Structure 1
Amino acid sequence: MTDTSVDAQSSTAAEGASTAYQGALLERFRAHIAGQDLWVFGYASLLWRPEFEAQEQYITRVWGWHRALKMWSRLNRGSPECPGLVFALLPGGSCQGVVYRVDRQQADEVLVRLWAREMPMDVYTPCWLPCQTPEGTVKALAFTLPRTSPSFTGHLPAETYRHIFQNASGRFGTTLDYARQTYESLLAHGIEDRALAAVLRHAN
């Protein structure tokens, strides 16, 4: 057997294991909401493109996580030749966003669609985060990113942001449009993100 064949078999095995793990993880999340409403925490594109109907939504804040434009995107907002960026929830600090309630009758369908949207590349780490609402504290689905992930950019200098804002584009558009849409949506919800405003100044 050639080395290429061994590599191909190893790659196929790894992909199969990842797919099995993701399937099992999704089933655990589906079991968690069985017969219940689904709450979802939106902090970036879910603010302006949720793609599901929510029965209620509230401005809220999660603690222990913050929004950051520090996740590589080589398909949606960039390319392998010129990687773009997308937002992630990173450990530390706090993050204002919107928590949505999906009725229990649609909860499972929406969860599966959200999973297909956010988890196709097996990058985010989904989890349940506590969010305050007028009804009390709820556990909301959120997509986070560990700093150990290869998709985490680490610190990016101003010139890197400028280059990405000027050049990175993928199948869903440019990194700059994505970042600006998120910032404008945050403002429309009455949320000020000074860190994001500072990053966007590199586009000028």
Structure 2
Amino acid sequence: MADDSFGAYDDFWLFGYGSLIWKPPPHYDQRVPGYIEGYVRRFWQASEDHRGTPEAPGRVVTLIDRAHWETLVDEHPSPHLTWGAAYHIPQQHVAEVRNYLDIREINGYSIQYTPFHPSHSAADPSPPKPIKCLVYIGLPSNPQFLGPQDPQELAAHILKSRGPSGENREYLFMLEEALLGLSPESGDGHVSDLVARSREIEAEEKVKKGVHGENGDAKDADGRRADIGGAELHKVGSTEEQEEVEK
């Protein structure tokens, strides 16, 4: 539930665990890598307005309460820490940023609050105190929550999905890259496994194209196109990037 007074004393912090890691909110003056506890990050949220369409929803991440996740059947184990980035918003920009976030997070996400632990060295005798952060979560009760999915089918679905913000695979690949850039311990096995599966599928698709040609035309034994009368290929330009709906 939203707390309208949160941030009234220049203490507005936002935790990002998805697209916010590489696409920050406006007006932030501090970005701190770190983690939260008690949640599991999964590509179990449908995206109808950014990485997919209402007719063909894409897949984006949400957080699942660990106690609830442990009641589900999931092929992927999960670390006990969920890494991401926290952003501090100066008091004079809180109202504007909250309005921006409420619009950005309309597709099934709701406001929650959680303690955030800033990253620190193991040799640090006095680690930083936790920071109360606002976080947008697609709860299991929201209509876009999909629940557990077969990883191979999920990877294939991500590869074929796209929406106003671009290809769904871009979201997946950028999320892994952003997570690995936070800390030596910030990788996510669920995300990295989906990336590995997606890369394998992409490689298989390239092999098939190499055999059959870019337009599906059969090639002879020397790899030459047997029928070159097909239509000329045109590169499809990406749509203008819109704001992400995810965290």
Structure 1 length-normalised TM:
0.78
Aligned position for 2:111: 126
Matching of residues 81-100 of structure 1 within 5 Å? 81-92=55-66, 93-100=80-87
Cα separation, partners in 2 of 1:140 and 1:162, compared to 1, 3 Å: closer
Q: What amino acid sits opposite 1:194 in the alignment? A: G
Unaligned ranges ≥5, structure 2: 67-79, 119-126, 201-247
Higher-Rg structure is 2
User: Partners of 1:113 and 1:79 in 2: how far apart?
Assistant: 21
Alignment of 1:168-179 (within 5 A): 168-179=161-172
Counterpart amino acid of 1:149? N
**Residue in structure 1 matching 2:91, options 92, 97, 104:** 104
2:187 is the alignment partner of 1:202 = no
Residue 142 (structure 1) aligns with: 135
What is the count of residue pairs matched by the alignment? Answer: 176
Q: Work out the percentage of aligned pairs sharing the same amino acid.
A: 25
d(CA) in 2 for partners of 1:100, 1:81: 34
Whole-angstrom CA distance in 2 between matches of 1:87 and 1:202: 17
Q: CA separation in 2, counterparts of 1:162 and 1:185? A: 19
- Report if aligned partners of 1:62, 1:130 keep a CA contact under 8 Å in 2: yes
Distance in structure 1 (CA, Å) of the matches to 2:130 and 2:115: 6
Deviant stretches of 4+, over 3 Å = none
- 1:32 and 1:158 map into 2 onto residues whose CA distance is 38
> Which residue of structure 2 aligns with residue 154 of structure 1?
147
Aligned pairs for 1:23-34 (under 5 A) are: 28-34=2-8
Q: Deviations over 1:158-191 (max 9, x none)?
A: 3422431331110101111111111111112222
User: Which has the larger share of strand?
Assistant: 1
> What are the ranges of 5 or more consecutive residues in structure 1 without an aligned counterpart?
1-24
Residue 160 of structure 2 is aligned with which of 167, 190, 204?
167
Deviation (angstroms), 1:135:
5.0
* Among 1, 4, 10, the residue aligned to 1:36: 10
The separation in 1 between residues aligned to 2:31 and 2:158, in whole angstroms, is: 31
Residue 77 of structure 1, aligned match among 51, 61, 76? 51
Alpha-carbon distance in structure 2 between the residues aligned to 1:94 and 1:162: 23
Secondary structure in 2 aligned to 1:149?
coil
Deviations 1:50-107 (A, max 9, x none): 1323222222211111211110112211123322101111111431111111121222
Normalising by structure 2, we get a TM-score of 0.65
Preserved contact between residue 82 and residue 167 of structure 1 (Cα < 8 Å): no
1-structure distance, mates of 2:128, 2:180: 24
What is the one-letter code of the residue matched to 2:134? L
Greater mean alpha carbon deviation, residues 31-40 or residues 177-186:
31-40
Asked if structure 1 preserves the Cα contact closer than 8 Å seen for 2:59 and 2:158, the reply is no
SS at match of 1:33: coil
> Following superposition of structure 1 onto structure 2, how do residues 42-53 of structure 1 map, counting pairs within 5 Å?
42-53=16-27
